[in-house]
Chains A and B, each alone.
Chain A
Amino acid sequence: MLLKKINITLLLLLCLLGTVQAQRTVTYHLYLQDTVVTYGGIKKRAIAANGQIPLPTLTFTEGDTAEIIVHNQLKESSSLHWHGVWLPNREDGVPFLTQMPIPPGTTYTYRFPIIQNGTYWYHSHSGLQEQIGMYGSMVFNKRKDDPTFRKGVDDIPSVSVMLSEWTNTKPEVVQRMLHTGNDWPGIKKNTVQSYVEALKEGHLKTKVTNEWKRMEAMDVSDVYYESFLINGQRSSQLAQFKAGDRVRLRVANGGASSYFWLTYAGGKITVVANDGNDVQPVEVDRLIIGVSETYDIIVTIPAENTSYELSATAEDRSGAASLFIGEGIRQLNTPLPRLRYFEGMKMMNDMMKMNGDMHDMGMQMSLQKMDMNAVMYPEMTGQQHEMQSSSDHSGHQEQNKHGNNMEKVTLNYAMLKATEKTTLDANAPIRELRFELTGNMNRYVWSMDNRVMSETDKIPVKKGEILRITLYNNSMMRHPMHLHGFDFRLINGQGDYAPMKNVMDIMPMETNVIEFEANREGDWFFHCHILYHMMAGMNRVFEVGNYNNPLLPDKEKAYKVLQKESNMIHFMAQNDFATNGNDGEAMLQNARWSLGTEWRLGYNDMHGYEVETHLGRYIGKMQWLMPFVGFDWRYRRMGEDEHEKNMFGQVNKKDNRSAISLGVMYTLPLLINFQAEVYHDGIARLSLMREDIPLSRRLRGGFMVNTDKEYMVDLRYILHKNLGIRTHYDSDMGFGVGVAVNY
């Protein structure tokens, strides 16, 4: 008994000693407030902490205890997620999964020990707040006596570099526009890839094939951003550095949906860490940083009185942010030229099977080694042309020059090698999982194994189990897959020295394998970090062990809310106020269901009034099939234009008609909607319809024809994201011109 007591006191003493030696609590107060920014040229609402965007950089040293006190002075709830940080699940900052949202007007404290070092960042995990300013850098310094301390890397000046983007459109509207297929962003970016443009560039066949395969315009990103920012500025300078200095930049991509190319005007870029973990230094000319990744890079200032541009160029080349490193005159980088979209479209045509599956043509792609988008890079393809021509002329000088170009090194995942062995416990049980990343652009539904999060339960995992996950990207877009709470090994051919990461970018058609030991209990989010993909349902939860989270008394209910949040119902409506009547529709949709009403309202009884309502469910990954139940109502007084008989000889005499129907809609090649419908009175109707044929950058065409011998053709010129001029001819209502408004 006595012995036990002594033991306990000893233990207590030991604990105390430990705290005295290493434990240091570092406290930050973050005051979240609405603010107004002009990043996009006009005043818009954003969210700042302590008046700053990006949010303040939080610096700790490994061994510290972090205490972050959040004062939510917003009118909405919020949360903060510590990206890449190992911590108890309850501190992870995912509302309805690891905590309840922080209500407006309240204060909330996050507290966790810092047990790793490197470059991390933090951001809101509530709704779309991350898009409007809620991102900030985190630096965990190594202790001086750390055996992994690297001379020339850990002891040189370092600067946090937070990349982000800004759109003047409210992110909720951006999300809705993505789901409703509004192509205004394409018009702004000049990426519509219309038939006229295809014709001009000699790619008409490419465009037709593309639409034959039921694809819409291809792009490497979906959102139009007015500006791109480094540390909240389009362009800024680090004038504290001078010639000969080596500077470590701790780059984090806090963009909601933009990948960035990093290039440096002062020579090579040395990559020394990724996602907070040291890697063996590798020299490159450029690298792409995926959404939510972090890279630590070292650059050198080669000449006196000169500052060198570090450019962060959006992957779609629609803009860039600059950071000039050094003092004096500014040495610019060569800007990355506009993408060749039709080349990309051609490539996609080859890669896409008729059923919507991707086809890698036996290339077994992985680890960013083969960037299929390279077909669209003028700076690369230009090189190929020159190479051919130089071999014709055989000038040694020219060849030499290209030799240099050829040597330009682009980082890929296979080049990342850990500084120490990263092998996992050989005795731990291994569980293999496989996910196929799925989705379709047309309705902007993103999923894993064709299931959005609201259609899946949490995935139970035994504590201590090794999860080895194979991911295959069977979608047309790349996805930065992020795992909360753990670093995983990315199997990349470096054997025992596979790099540790917490985000893995996976390009279309790639297959990658990651593995990690699930040794921390709790509910850990695993999701695509493109904000709008996450909100569309591309998420899973690993439920490790049986974690009792005191912050979530009703876990089940909370999870239901989380599921709902990633499958929100969105509303769209449009109406053409035309000289011959009103033509329009309204729809409520989520990932699977669609409730829509179409109307044609004439200005007199002869033209008639007609409303059709459909409730349907989309089937399959590509969602080309939608069975539905419908309800039609029509009133008209037949005039001289009497097509009472339909093509099947069925007669419909009633001018005032209400009918219930069963039907099916199917998207045919060339994106033509085929609709077959049978009404309760036995009358059948088939129709073909195509909307929004991109004729030119702003001109859209459409047609409809059905077995009631009705037809319609229309042309619409888009003026604004919500406004267009439309002219159409309708067999019922005749010729009309009007203003088309859409929401």
Chain B
Amino acid sequence: MKTIIFWISIWSILFTTTDIYAQVKNAKTETFHVNGNCDMCKATIEKAGNKKKEAQLIWDSASQSAKIVYDAEKTNSDAILKRIALAGYDNEKYLAPDETYTQLHGCCQYERTLKGKEVAAVSSNHTHKQEHQHHSSDKTKTESHTFQTVMETYFPLKDALVNSDSKAATLQAKSLLQAIESLKMETLSNNAHQIWMDQVKEITTSANNIVNSSNITDQRKHFAALSTKLYLMVKASPLKSPIYYQNCPMFENGKGANWLSLNEEIKNPFYGSKMMTCGSVKEKIN
């Protein structure tokens, strides 16, 4: 029985490979750099590039490259790469339209390393906005020892992880610990108080673990645990501004992980720049 399965699979492999070559005449093979992230990207890239009897394409995420077999009399690599770019994927010859890129699924929003460096005087309002946000969070820090204060130390910790800055994460986790210790229970509602008492031990442990971990991968693991606990608190004790409970489906080989954010826009703390915008909003807590 096993041998039969073996032979069937051998045959099917042989058959499919010969099929690819049989489809494309005057075959010419070339390999090009094509950016992308995940299996979803792979499907889109290959679908965009493939054309019956004209072009067959295999994209590999590890090498960020696409092997293209095409009929040199019917088409050329330029046309194929243009199709791929129009589907949203930057490559050696073409950059995807910005609108198409932003419409890709969160998981597929790869880092656009092929984009040229912008010259002066074009983008300035972007950085400006970020500064503004920091500023406002600094201001509120001075207020009394409420759960709000705890969360105000959580968000900078998250930002440190977004920036893949392990040292900053350690520092922020320390101030989180301080905020946890100095939280005044009387500021909590009955319900929130109950939840706090149930969770505070694990919250403190997670925060401690972040302080004590030397590498960012471990810090992120503990941050995932921390976030789940704090989520329960946030639900019970609403903050001044709405909070977004966000999800990264890929963390820990597909187990996924969640975090809390002040912004609806995804900035993934679990992978940093590698998959900055990968993720989705699970819930908005007002």
CA distance A42 to B265 in the complex (A): 50
A331:B119 contact, CB within 8 angstroms: no
- Say which residue of B86, B116, B118, B263 sits within 8 Å of A328 (CB atoms): B116
Q: In the bound complex, do residue A329 and residue B114 qualify as a contact, i.e. CB atoms below 8 Å apart?
A: yes
Cα A736 to Cα B80 with chains together (Å): 48
Is the C-beta of B94 less than 8 angstroms from some C-beta in chain A?
Answer: yes
Q: Decide if B96 touches A304 in the complex (CB within 8 Å).
A: no
Interface 9-residue window, one of A48-56, A128-136, A196-204, A392-400 = A392-400
Nearest-CB residue, chain A, relative to B123:
A302
What are the residues of chain A within 8 A of B100 when measuring CB–CB? 334
Tell me, yes or no, whether B159 is within 8 Å of chain A by CB: no
**Would B97 and A265 count as touching, CB distance under 8 A?**
yes
A333 is an interface residue with CB less than 8 A from chain B? yes
Give complex CA distance A303, B119 in Å.
5
Cβ contacts A305-349/B at 8 Å (1 or 0 each): 110000000000000000000001111111100000000000000
Whether the Cβ atoms of A397 and B265 lie closer than 8 Å is yes
Task: Name the one of B97, B117, B264 contacting A303, with C-beta atoms under 8 angstroms.
Answer: B117
Expressed in whole angstroms, the Cα–Cα distance for A303 and B115 within the complex equals: 8
Q: Is the interface of B mostly helix, strand, loop or mixed?
A: loop
- Separation in Å of the A246 CB from the closest CB of chain B? 12
A220 within 8 A of B: no
Give A329 to B94 CA distance when docked, in angstroms.
6
Give chain B's interface residue range (CB within 8 Å of chain A). 20 to 34
| Of A244, A267, A332, A396, the contact of B96 (CB 8 Å cutoff) | A332
Given known A-B contacts A329-B95, A331-B95, A332-B82, A306 and B115 have beta carbons under 8 A apart? yes
With both beta carbons as reference points, the residue of chain A lying nearest to B79 in the complex is identified as A235
Which of A302, A333, A396 lies in contact with B264, CB distance below 8 A? A396
Q: Is the CB–CB distance between B97 and A333 below 8 Å?
A: yes
Contact A243 B263 (CB under 8 A): no
B85 within 8 A of A: yes
| A243: nearest chain-B partner, CB-CB | B119
CB pair A303–B85 under 8 Å, yes or no, is no
Which residues of A lie under 8 Å from residue B99 when comparing CB positions? 334
**Residue of A at shortest CB range from B78?**
A235
Q: Which residue of B lies closest to A335 (CB)?
A: B86
CB neighbors of A among B70-99 (8 A): 82, 85-86, 92-99
Which residues does chain B contribute within 8 Å of A397, judged by CB atoms? 263-265
| Contacting residues of chain A (627-659) with chain B, CB-CB under 8 angstroms | none
- What separation, in Å, do the CA atoms of A305 and B116 have in the docked complex? 6
Q: Does residue B1 face the partner (Cβ distance < 8 Å to A)?
A: no
> Which of A306, A328, A334, A396 is close to B97, meaning CB atoms less than 8 Å apart?
A334
- A398-B119 in contact (CB<8A): no
Measured CA separation A395–B116 after assembly (Å): 31
B159, chain A: closest CB distance, angstroms = 17
Interface bin, chain A = 20 to 34
Q: Which residues of B, 211-266, contact A by the 8 Å Cβ criterion?
A: 263-265
CB-based nearest B residue for A303: B116
B85 neighbours in A (Cβ, 8 Å)? 330, 332
B86 contact set on A, CB distance < 8 A? 332, 335
CB-based nearest A residue for B100: A334
In this complex, the member of B92, B94, B95, B99 whose beta carbon has the largest number of chain A beta carbons within 10 angstroms is B95
Give per-residue flags for B87-130: 1 if the beta carbon is below 8 A from chain A beta carbons, else 0.
00000111111111000000000000011111110100000000
- CB distance A330 to B116 under 8 Å? no
Q: Which one of B82, B93, B97, B100 has the highest number of Cβ atoms from chain A below 10 Å of its Cβ? A: B97
The answer to whether A329 touches B116, judged by C-beta atoms less than 8 angstroms apart, is: yes
Q: Which residues of B contact A303 (CB under 8 A)?
A: 115-119, 122
The CA-CA distance from A265 to B115 in the complex, in Å, is 13
A306, B116: Cβ atoms under 8 Å?
A: yes
Are B118 and A302 interface neighbours, CB within 8 A?
yes
Question: Of all chain B residues, which has the CB nearest A304?
Answer: B116
Residue among A267, A306, A398 making CB contact with B95, cutoff 8 Å: A306
| Chain A residue contacts of B82, Cβ below 8 A | 332
The residue from B114, B119, B263, B265 contacting A244, defined by CB atoms under 8 A apart: B119
A302 to B93, CA, bound (A): 18
A332 touches B94 (CB 8 A): yes
Closest Cβ of chain B to A132, distance in Å, is 26
State A302–B115 Cα separation when bound (angstroms): 11
Q: What are the residues of chain A within 8 A of B264 when measuring CB–CB?
A: 395-398
**Complex Cα spacing A398 to B98, Å:** 16
Q: What's the Cα separation between A243 and B121 when bound, in Å?
A: 12
In the bound complex, how far is the Cα of B16 from the Cα of A65, in angstroms?
Answer: 70
Q: Mark A258-273, 1 if CB is under 8 A from B, else 0.
A: 0000000101000000
- Tell me which residues across on chain A come within 8 A of B95, comparing CB atoms: 306, 329-332
* Choice from B93, B118, B120, B263 contacting A329 with Cβ under 8 Å: B93
How far does the Cβ of B81 sit from chain A's closest Cβ, in whole Å?
A: 9
- List the B residue with the shortest CB-CB distance to A305: B116
Segment 246-292 of A: residues with Cβ below 8 Å from B: 265, 267
Complexed CA–CA distance, A576 and B97 (Å): 50
In the complex, residue of chain A having the shortest beta-carbon distance to the beta carbon of B102:
A401
Name A244's closest neighbour in chain B (CB-CB).
B119
Chain A CB within 10 A, most for which of B94, B97, B116, B265: B116
* B97 to chain A: closest residue by CB: A334
Is the Cβ of A304 less than 8 Å from the Cβ of B117?
yes
Measured CA separation A267–B122 after assembly (Å): 10
Name the distance in Å between A40's Cβ and chain B's nearest Cβ: 16
Within 8 A of A (CB), among B153-175: none
**CB within 8 A of A302: which of B96, B114, B122, B284?**
B122
Which residue of chain A has the shortest Cβ distance to B91 in the bound complex?
A: A329
Contact B94 A330 (CB under 8 A): yes
> Which residues in B have their C-beta under 8 angstroms from that of A304?
116-119
Q: What residues on A are CB-neighbors of B96 within 8 Å?
A: 332
Query: Can you list 5 residue pairs at the A/B interface with Cβ under 8 Å?
Result: A302-B118, A303-B116, A303-B122, A328-B116, A330-B94
Q: Contact residues of B with A, CB < 8 Å?
A: 82, 85-86, 92-100, 114-120, 122, 263-265, 284
- Which residues does A use to contact B, with CB under 8 Å? 243-244, 265, 267, 301-306, 328-335, 395-398
10 interchain residue pairs of minimum CB distance: A303-B116, A306-B116, A334-B97, A397-B264, A304-B116, A331-B95, A334-B99, A244-B119, A305-B116, A303-B118
New A-B contacts (10) at CB < 8 Å, excluding given A329-B94, A332-B95, A397-B263: A243-B117, A243-B119, A267-B122, A302-B122, A303-B119, A329-B92, A330-B94, A334-B97, A335-B86, A335-B97
